[in-house]
Amino acid sequence: MWRLRSGHVSTRLALSREYPHGVPAFAAALADPEFHRVKLDVDGTGRIEVVAFEEREGTGEDDRRVRVVLRQPVPPGQVPAVVERLLSGVLVIERTEEWRLTPQRCDGRARVAVPGTPINAGGTMAVAPTGDGSRLAVDLEITAAIPLLGGGIERAVVTGIRGLTGGEHDRISRWLAAGRAR
């Protein structure tokens, strides 16, 4: 889906995955900074850095707020060639997630920046109950503010994200199955 916004074209990416674990298990995982680092560790090198982690009580009972900022270097070979040409070094993604966690539902916002490039993304995330489990849904708008090349770069980024989600799903599933919590 293409949308025109402020003179720039952006590309929407909507993904969802189901898990056999309930929302309370997901809320506990999202409140753990190590979970965020592990879920993004694409190549298993442990190079994901939790730059900031804040947790505070929300406005209601059983309502917590979490904010996590992560820095993620993208391994060579996983960067689309059209993006590699824009870089002077290693591609680093800075990702900020802000979550409202309750045992019934988790709602979040994500912002992603690629320092040194005009590429960014933002959108929403939600974990909602489905039967005995839960569904994680992510809805992002990816923007590459580069005349003529922006659309191709956005499509390459979307393809890259789709390729990474399978591994991220597996790491989330393993974490939830292990029942880890702080």
Residue 71: enclosing H or E segment and its boundaries? strand 64-73
Per-residue pLDDT, 72 = 81
User: What is the reported pLDDT for 146?
Assistant: 65
Per-residue pLDDT, 6: 43
How high is the mean pLDDT of the chain?
79
Please report the DSSP string for 98-117 in residue order.
Answer: EEEE-SS-EEEEEEEE-TTS
Report, at the CATH architecture level, how domain 14-177 is classified. 2-Layer Sandwich (3.30)
**Does the pLDDT of residue 96 top 90, yes or no?**
yes
Confidence of residue 119 (pLDDT cuts 50, 70, 90): confident
61 pLDDT exceeds 60? yes
- The whole-number average pLDDT for the span 137-153 is 72
